Amino acid sequence: MRGLAVRLSLIWFAPLLLALGPACSAAPLEVYGQLPAIERAAISADGHRLALISNDGDAQVVSVRTVDDPKTLMSLRTRSGKLRGLRWVGADDLLITASFTGTFPDVFSPRTEWAEVIDINVKAGTKMNLLGGAQNAIPATIGEPRIRYLNGKPFAFVQACYFVNDEGRISLFRVDLTTGETAVVAVGAPDTDGWLVSSNGAPIAESRYDATGAAWSLLVRRGSAWRIADQGASDYGDNGILGLGRDGRSVMIGAEKGGQNVLLEMAPTADHWNAPLPVPDEQNLINDPADERLIGYHALTGEIEKYVFFDGADQARWDAVARAFPGARVTLSGLTADHQKLLIEVESRTEAPVYAVVDAATHNVSPVGAVYSNLAPQDISPVSAISYAAADGLPLTGYLTLPRGRDPKGLPLVVFPHGGPAARDEPGFDWWAQAMASRGYAVLQVNYRGSDGFGDKFLAAGFGQWGRKMQTDLSDGVRYLAAQGTIDPKRVCIVGASYGGYAALAGATLDPGVYRCAVDVSGISDMRRFVDWSARQSSVASRRYWTRYIGASGPNDPVFDQVSPAKQIGALSAPILLIHGKDDTVVPFEQSQIMADALKKAGKPYDFVILNHEDHWLSHSDTRLQMLRATMDFLAKNNPAE
């Protein structure tokens, strides 16, 4: 299978041979910039079928095949929407989550990214929208469907906006996946924001959040009565119903206790929470594919990555799989109802990822395909973890990608900060960083203060540090690499998207003299305008969140202008490239237009690339490649690698 970039070195599994192309120079930018050949993969509960989302030019293709035979059994090609999720229900039903940018006619709603879930019955060849039969509701799902089996039949429980006297409320719908019959199970209160259903399909928990009053409450059902199980003040949102606990009956939420993120479980008949489970990252919970009970979690804390399963047999099975790929990063993408077959993604820090199915019972490995099918090992630059201290002594970590085949001395550097900012860079393949490294640049990705995944204290260290220490954490990395002799401090540019785009603009305006050029993709330039827009789009809780992060005392605090690149043009000393998608609903397109207008008025050098029909996530292949080509041309002009 030409193009599978990871050589799967097996210890106790059957050998898996992956043919690789001949050595050559770095791949064309199109190979890095196009969407992945395999975007997502899912394995059916019985372990016989695979579903794949692949990209073919401007279209996305959903295909179904068996695990042991790459021959396609069914395919669906679409040019509308963006496919975001893939999940099997049993052996025959395939749930596909798609999103689209827009508003709903006759409904007052902001322009945003809406999601819909389509059920494909592979056996019958039928297709239906899960909310296609809902009345008085917006046909868009909120959150992931919960699957329950009632009398042996699969049902999807879906949250959506249901109208009561012209007031939209987050309510719970039940959809029979066999007949398509849709019913309202529970109608939410004005401040309801989430539901949980039991294994028998009855609603057992309801979360409410009063954004104006900054108060959260959790209601649980005992018999026919509802009671408040927990409540408290919360400036930024609820404590979130995460699903069923380990016993398949308990209500589970995420919370912060003693400075640590934990999971809390409460049985339906109990009056108190069980002892907390210390799960570092609640977004990486592992649920049983049959009944959705919690069976484990995946944590990446600092640089320590681990999978924890509560059942000893599951843990032993996973440990054996991980040992079979020494030196590689192995992540779990799915498993079967009996937990015997695991769909995994394997990559090393010098090779691109590949999907495979491991049969723990037979010790066989079946290759599925490469995520980037046209990248060979010689197209991948080595990535290593680095650590250094910020100017104030705070320990920082990150990743350094060095261009393959070049002496790591005096290299040109691209600083590449992640978005969020409450996110993080992870070890593993990054198509954008790899593209820049393939053209001769060292690439530095820093988990600056305010990043997630390093503890609450590290996250809180970013509060009030936009444009300040969050920014100098990046330039401290430049100075560290210069002191090591790895990079040439006179040949440094900064490239970023979202918050990373803000950091690129701030690097050129608030931390001048470090960068020869800056590329901002969908970044924020005017903080006050952005926070006002965000509050209008969602709620006052959004204003409180951003005000805290920025370190402002209120909407009129001058700090907004002090950390806004569009208000600090006078200090600019480097050319800027602005790139923004017209369909961006996370950072509005006007933020780049504001920056462009300010640069033009001040007579400063800049270029502005508009990505038509593109969203915040560069979801389309043509505009992603347009962005990458513009970025690399700009870097070559202002900071040539040779």
The yes-or-no verdict on residue 373 having pLDDT over 90 is no
**Residue 553 belongs to domain spanning:** 527-563
Residues 339 and 488 grouped into a single domain: no
Q: Using 50, 70 and 90 to split pLDDT, how confident is the model at 238?
A: confident
Residues 445 and 592 grouped into a single domain: yes
The yes-or-no verdict on residue 10 having pLDDT over 60 is no
Which residues, including other chains, have CB under 8 Å from residue 36's CB and lie 6 or more apart?
A: 55, 371, 372, 431
The yes-or-no verdict on residue 403 having pLDDT over 60 is yes
Does any domain span residue 474? yes
Which residues, including other chains, have CB under 8 Å from residue 619's CB and lie 6 or more apart?
A: 35, 82
Does any domain span residue 266? no
pLDDT for the residue 280: 65
Residues 532 and 613 grouped into a single domain: no
Does any domain span residue 444? yes
The answer to whether 229 and 219 have CB atoms below 8 angstroms apart is: yes
- CA-to-CA separations, 217 to 191, 196, 270, in angstroms, rounded: 10, 14, 17
Instruction: Characterize 225-253 residue by residue with b for buried, 16 or more Cβ atoms within 10 angstroms of its Cβ, and e for exposed.
Output: eeeebbeeebeebbbbbbbbbbeebbbbb
Q: Using 50, 70 and 90 to split pLDDT, how confident is the model at 113?
A: confident
The pLDDT of 3-18, averaged and rounded, is 33
- pLDDT tens per residue, range 480-492: 999 999 999 999 9
The pLDDT of 86-111, averaged and rounded, is 83
pLDDT for the residue 456: 82
Residues 556 and 572 grouped into a single domain: no
Query: Strand 383-389 and strand 395-401: pairing?
Result: antiparallel
Could you write out the DSSP letters of every residue in 372-402?
STT--GGG---EEEEEEE-TTS-EEEEEEE-
pLDDT for the residue 25: 67
Q: Using 50, 70 and 90 to split pLDDT, how confident is the model at 499?
A: very high
pLDDT for the residue 549: 85
pLDDT for the residue 441: 98
Mean pLDDT score of the chain, rounded to an integer?
89
- pLDDT tens per residue, range 431-476: 999 999 999 999 999 999 999 888 888 999 999 999 999 999 999 9
The pLDDT of 618-623, averaged and rounded, is 91
Q: Using 50, 70 and 90 to split pLDDT, how confident is the model at 13?
A: very low
Query: Strand 126-129 and strand 142-150: pairing?
Result: unpaired
Residues 458 and 596 grouped into a single domain: yes
Does any domain span residue 240? no
Q: How many helices (H) and strands (E) does the chain have?
A: 11, 34
Residues 57 and 22 grouped into a single domain: yes
pLDDT for the residue 239: 73
- pLDDT tens per residue, range 274-291: 888 877 655 689 999 999
The pLDDT of 211-219, averaged and rounded, is 89
Residues 334 and 361 grouped into a single domain: yes
9 C-beta neighbours (distance < 10 Å), count: 15
pLDDT for the residue 540: 83
pLDDT for the residue 111: 80
Single residue among 340, 355, 376 that ends a domain in this structure? 376
CA dihedral of 134, 136, 141, 146, whole degrees rounded to 10: -50
Residues 389 and 448 grouped into a single domain: yes
Does any domain span residue 276? no
- pLDDT tens per residue, range 52-64: 999 887 788 999 9
Q: Is the dihedral of CA 266, 272, 275, 280 positive or negative?
A: positive
Residues 334 and 369 grouped into a single domain: yes
pLDDT for the residue 553: 85
Residues 436 and 344 grouped into a single domain: no
Q: In the chain, how many domains are there? A: 3
- Residue 517 has, within 13 A of its CA and on its CB side, a CA count of 22
- The rounded percent of the chain whose pLDDT value lies above 70 is 94
Does any domain span residue 437? yes
Does any domain span residue 598? yes
pLDDT for the residue 254: 83
pLDDT for the residue 11: 32
The yes-or-no verdict on residue 14 having pLDDT over 60 is no
**25 against 130, higher pLDDT:** 130
Residues 575 and 553 grouped into a single domain: no
- CA-to-CA separations, 177 to 47, 96, 121, 319, in angstroms, rounded: 20, 13, 9, 36
Single residue among 345, 376, 407 that ends a domain in this structure? 376
Residues 502 and 598 grouped into a single domain: yes
Single residue among 376, 406, 428 that ends a domain in this structure? 376
The yes-or-no verdict on residue 427 having pLDDT over 60 is yes
Does any domain span residue 627? yes
The yes-or-no verdict on residue 537 having pLDDT over 50 is yes
Angle, CA of 284, 285 and 290, to the nearest 5°: 135
pLDDT for the residue 258: 67
The yes-or-no verdict on residue 158 having pLDDT over 60 is yes
H/E stretch holding 296 reads: strand 294-301
